[in-house]
Amino acid sequence: MTYLFWICFFLLTYTCFLFPVAIILFSKNKKLNSNLYNEIEIMPSVSILIAAYNEQAVIKEKVMSIINSNFPNSKMEIIIGSDCSNDNTNQIIKDLEVGFPFINTIIFEERTGKSGVVNKLVKQAKNEILILTDANIIFSNNTISSLVRHFKNLDIGLVDTNMVNVGIKKSGISFQEKTYISWEVRFKHAESKLWGMLMGPFGGCFAIRKSLFTPIPENFLVDDFYVCMNILQNGYGAINDLQAIVYEDVSNQLSEEFRRKKRISMGNFINLFHFRKLLLKPFTKLGFIFISHKAIRWFGPILLLLIFLANYSLILDSIFYKTTFFAQLILFILPFIDLLLRKIGIHIIILRFITHFYSMNLALLIGMIDYLTENKKGVWEPTKRKQDEI
């Protein structure tokens, strides 16, 4: 049990802290791809693909952020696929299509799922460079040009954005989620500089070469990771550019984020099974990064449970194990205290971080169980947009 305790503790610490910190430090003096298009006028045209379901709250703002960017409208097409939306999304995008001839809308009469919509939109795209983006991701002025410029380098197959979260509120978990996402952005940028490959883009917005796109199977929930891994396995690079800024109204409701993390967790294990052969290649660059950054982390809830159970069996061995056991008990209790304090309007940042950590690991665990027991379908419900209350 002593070995089990320390092995699990090391693996959890390694994937959550030691590995990312080491990569960030080792990449400090490295440079990102420098083989760039330096002028927008000579950049290739781009097809921007948006899969949407019930996005009336954000879809117009999203499309206008693309149109008003510094990338010429004459060098872009926007294809919006509405996955049988039953709100006002369809009317909004049809009105936009009338005003801007480079917008093309496809209305799906039956729910297809995001993967099915994306597959259809990719087939319709006229250009080699594609930007796959969610309806709630708002572009900055130079998002498109910052992404497209890297494709002068023929070895690069995917370019990821820098996700900046807005709408931070102290009452929910938005600050904690923003902190986590910012850390992941920094980590993936470091991977990009050090190795020229990152472990999955932020699915809200990234660019790829159409010729490298592998159709997404119907049951793949985390489609962006699947697309990225196929590009990496084909020998092309995938990088994150911090100047390709996009904005997202970060989730503030714990229940909404919990539901999203459960779905992501199920998708993680679908991907883990599909790319399982990499687990047998820990000494290859791709296998090492996949295991260190993703695979071990996906088993984080199991590691936490094993640490707790092993610690319980060692409680009589020494004062050290007794102390660590009761420390874990206290940490398990703190999210419930945070919940009670939140109900009376008291918000303590450090308590909310602990709540965020354990609730997201619980979502990962339930998602893992769902993967093992449920029928995996690619139909998705987007996170509630423009959240105001916790």
Residues 107-156 pLDDT 10s: 988 888 888 899 999 999 999 999 999 999 999 999 999 999 999 999 99
Position 113 in a domain: yes
Contact 44, 119 (CB under 8 A): no
Instruction: Single out the residue of 42, 47, 32, 36 nearest to residue 208, CA to CA.
Output: 47
Tens digit of each residue's pLDDT (9 = 90 or more) over 299-323: 999 999 999 999 999 988 889 989 9
* Beta partners for residue 128, in sequence order: none
Whether 14 maps to a domain, the answer reads: no
Mean pLDDT, residues 76-93: 91
What pTM, to 2 d.p., does this model score? 0.86
For 179-193, what is the mean pLDDT? Answer: 89
Q: Is residue 74 a part of any domain in this protein? A: yes
CATH of the domain at 150: 3.90.550.10
List b or e across 87-110, with b for residues whose CB sees 16 or more CB atoms inside 10 angstroms: eebbebbeebbeeeeebbbeebee
Give the number of C-alpha atoms closer than 13 A to the C-alpha of residue 234, restricted to the C-beta side.
Answer: 18
pLDDT digits (tens, 9 = 90+) for 321-350: 899 999 999 999 998 888 888 888 787 888
In a domain, 383, yes or no: no
Q: Which two tokens stand for residue 77?
A: 């097409």
Residue 92 has pLDDT above 60, yes or no: yes
Q: With beta carbons less than 8 A apart as the criterion, state whether 240 and 198 touch.
A: yes
To the nearest whole number, what is the mean pLDDT of the chain? 88
Q: Name the more confident of 277 and 261.
A: 277
Q: Is residue 271 part of a domain?
A: no
Domain residue limits at 247: 40-251
Average pLDDT over residues 235-247: 94
Structural domain contains residue 235: yes
**362-387 pLDDT, tens per residue?**
988 998 888 888 755 545 566 665 55
Count of the separate structural domains present in the chain: 1
Q: Is the distance from CB of 46 to CB of 130 less than 8 angstroms? A: yes
- Ordered DSSP codes for 335-387: HHHHHHHHHTT---HHHHHHHHHHHHHHHHHHHHHHHHHS-------PPPSS-
181 lies in some domain: yes
**CA 41 to CA 43: how far, in whole Å?**
6
Q: Tell me if 122 is assigned to some domain.
A: yes
Tokens of 189: 């940028």
**Cα(327)–Cα(324) distance, rounded to whole angstroms?**
5
Predicted confidence band of residue 170 (pLDDT cuts 50, 70, 90):
low
Q: What pLDDT score does 171 carry? A: 67
Q: Determine the average pLDDT of the residues in 351-356.
A: 84
Distance of CA 79 to the CA centre of its chain: 22
Nearest to 263 by CA among 343, 103, 376: 376
pLDDT of 387: 52
